[in-house]
A and B are shown apart, each in its own frame.
Chain A
């Protein structure tokens, strides 16, 4: 094979495809196991949470970022560092609420949904719901309780993918982490 020069980009891209295809296989398996989209969405969120609580350690170790001063800084770190490191995309941060406790991440391109076409019988499936769980789990480990949800999704015909994040409250350090 005489494609030496493309080797590194190829292998990075292939890893991305491995991840995307594995995620797809997971979603379709969940659709088979559970009767309705709502249940699948919940499972994806739960699994994402479990990943998020571990991923944050990896992120903090890699990125050398200190404690964020406020929610705005958190938003920037999520978009410019976290998304960039793990998904290779940088969403834009917009639509701040007047109180500064809510914002949107706009993704032009969502690697989880490469090649995916949602069939008609899964109208309420939030395909990428794992991401919401990951963000929620990761932030909980740095003492922030947040609510995360998709408000626009290219899979459902929207132009962009929009994730809305809302700060709920600061978590006291000695409270046990929720969930399994």
Chain B
């Protein structure tokens, strides 16, 4: 059983690696490259989310509806992946959900306060991908974004894409 801090170290190194790779071609990572890095991290997370949800839902009964799935994500999934439950779930009942985690585990290694606020998106991209991957495999296409105003508290916004 791998220790949690191994994952934390690996995640930080992956973020660092992705940004370094982009930087090796230019002097400074501009906003377009930043978006590319975020996208790479997000897609890594996506694949991980797909695999995790496949294992996690192997023996559970099927879900009633979208809200049932979101509750599962907030409780069981969040606990198993991010070591605690989501503190607050809000929805407009029209496919948009806001998940608030006041002590997001991937942000706790970075110090609290405003110091690293602008770095936070780099460390959230992977997690957004994990959530999107999990939802995708459960049949829900979504767009997942995250924002931080006070470390380590974090809000994830999930917008379910309706099939046209």
Chain A residues proximal to chain B, CB less than 8 Å: 1, 10-26, 28-29, 33, 43, 47, 50-51, 54-55, 58, 85-88, 111, 130, 180
Contacts and interface: CB of A to CB of B under 8 A. Distances in A.
B10 A22 contact: yes
Contacts of B66: none
Contact of A14 (B13, B44, B81): B81
Contacts of A20: 2
Contact of A33 (B4, B21, B47, B56): B21
B16 interface: yes
B80 A22 contact: no
By secondary structure, the B interface counts as: helix
A55 B109 CA distance: 13
Given A18-B48, A25-B47, A50 B13 contact: yes
A29 B44 contact: yes
Contact of B9 (A14, A43, A55, A85): A55
Given A17-B55, A18-B52, A21-B51, A26 B14 contact: yes
26 contacts: A1-B60, A1-B76, A11-B79, A14-B52, A15-B2, A15-B7, A17-B52, A17-B55, A18-B48, A18-B52, A19-B7, A22-B10, A22-B126, A24-B48, A25-B45, A26-B10, A26-B44, A28-B47, A29-B44, A43-B17, A47-B14, A47-B17, A50-B16, A86-B6, A87-B1, A87-B2
A43 B76 CA distance: 35
Interface residues of B, number: 32
B80 A86 contact: no
Interface of B: 1-7, 9-11, 13-14, 16-17, 20-21, 40, 44-45, 47-48, 51-52, 55-56, 60, 76, 79-81, 83, 126
A151 B51 CA distance: 30
B40 A29 contact: yes
A15 B14 contact: no
Contacts of A14: 52, 56, 80-81
Contacts of B16: 50
Contacts of B51: 17, 21, 24
A72 B146 CA distance: 48
